[in-house]
């Protein structure tokens, strides 16, 4: 168990390093993030405007099959909004009952690409969709992970290709000694969320 914890701690450390490296791009590309908003320098904003691909040109150069696939992509937005609503209500009601810390939706659903002046309207809309949809999936996964920690914190015997943020706290598959007392302790073990919120 300690080796697994050590690997997970190293992964978290590397993720924080990656976030720090990504944030260094602020200087390279002349923008600042303040209060959750992105601000480009005036000269950069003006330069971005010169790079925008006009809508007509953008559509003329788009692959025909890409245009045909758009309705399938956009049809997913309605189930996504419904899922967002249901999962948010689930969390609001159930997490209070279970004593699980709430997942902050804004930490997962980030929509800031509309500030990129070199994107045209279609590109901005597509980026907003992707930011929402992928953020929503991450938000739902975190709610599901915390719920799983409460109800069934047991690792799988079979290989899982991705592990969520709470998986390291789970009991090993087949770890049956003092199962009930261990489960009770794991259900309450969300202390790390207070210190782990920000890198």
3-state helix, strand, coil in the chain (%, to 5): 65, 5, 30
Q: Which residues pair with 37 in a beta bridge?
A: 34
**pLDDT, tens digit, for every residue of 53-79?**
898 888 888 889 988 999 999 999 999
Mean pLDDT comparison of 58-67, 132-141, 178-187, highest-scoring range: 132-141
Q: What is the mean pLDDT of the chain?
A: 89
Domains in the chain: how many in total?
1
CB–CB of 98/28 below 8 Å?
Answer: no
The CA R_g of the chain, rounded to the nearest whole Å, is 21
Q: Which residues pair with 43 in a beta bridge?
A: none
- Long-range contact list for 122-131, CB < 8 A, 24+ apart? 122/55, 122/58, 122/59, 123/53, 123/58, 129/73, 129/74, 129/77
Q: Where are the beta strands (DSSP E) in the chain?
A: 31-34, 37-40
The per-residue pLDDT for 198 is: 44
Q: Name the residue range of residue 192's domain.
A: 2-196
State yes or no: pLDDT of 36 exceeds 80: no
């Amino acid at each position: 168990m300690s080796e697994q914890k050590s690997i997970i701690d190293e992964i978290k450390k590397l993720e924080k390093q990656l976030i720090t490296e990504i944030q260094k791009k602020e200087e390279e590309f002349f923008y600042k993030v303040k209060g959750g908003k992105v601000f480009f320098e005036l000269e950069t904003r003006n330069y971005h405007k010169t790079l925008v691909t006009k809508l007509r040109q953008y559509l003329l150069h788009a692959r025909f099959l890409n245009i045909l696939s758009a309705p399938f992509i956009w049809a997913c937005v309605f189930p996504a909004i419904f899922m967002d609503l249901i999962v948010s209500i689930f969390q609001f009601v159930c997490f209070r009952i279970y004593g699980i810390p709430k997942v902050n939706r804004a930490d997962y659903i980030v929509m800031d690409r509309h500030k990129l002046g070199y994107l045209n309207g279609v590109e901005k809309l597509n980026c907003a969709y992707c930011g929402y949809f992928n953020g929503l999936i991450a938000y739902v996964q975190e709610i599901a992970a915390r719920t799983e920690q409460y109800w069934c914190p047991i690792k799988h015997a079979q290989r899982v290709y991705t592990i969520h943020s709470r998986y390291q706290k789970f009991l090993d598959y087949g770890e049956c000694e003092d199962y009930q007392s261990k489960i009770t302790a794991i259900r309450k073990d969300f202390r790390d969320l207070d210190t782990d919120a920000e890198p």
